[in-house]
């Protein structure tokens, strides 16, 4: 079963503008990155909580995501 957090992550990952915007947010204000992810979910009618996003991101095993998490760790 695919979670809403997984669906949302895949949509963001495949949209270069959303991905870049989120990455820039994470670099400048990591705490707001989770809020932005949740807001993107609302825009796409995919409801997620901050905790669901954190839980899902902790299961991903790819280098790009790990690098993003290292940079944004302070806010997550």
- Total domains present in the chain: 1
Average pLDDT of the chain?
A: 83
Cα–Cα distance for residue pair 54/43, rounded to 1 Å: 19
pLDDT at residue 76 in the model: 47
Which residues have a Cβ under 8 Å from the Cβ of 23 and sit 6 or more positions away? 68
Of 22, 31, 36, 40, the C-alpha closest to 76 is 31
What digits encode the pLDDT tens for the residues 28-38?
A: 887 788 899 99
pLDDT at residue 33 in the model: 85
pLDDT at residue 34 in the model: 86
**Neighbour tally for 6: CB within 10 Å:** 17
Range of the domain at 46: 4-72
What digits encode the pLDDT tens for the residues 37-72?
A: 999 999 999 999 989 988 888 888 777 666 666 656
Of 45, 58, 49, the C-alpha closest to 11 is 45
Give 19's Cβ-side CA count (13 Å radius): 11
């Amino acid at each position: 079963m695919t979670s809403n957090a997984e669906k949302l992550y895949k949509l963001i990952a495949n949209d270069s503008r959303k991905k870049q915007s989120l990455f820039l947010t994470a670099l400048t204000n990591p705490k707001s990155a989770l809020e932005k992810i949740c807001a993107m979910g609302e825009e796409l009618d995919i409801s997620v909580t901050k905790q669901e996003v954190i839980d899902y991101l902790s299961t991903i095993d790819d280098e790009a995501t790990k690098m993003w998490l290292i940079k944004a760790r302070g806010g997550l």
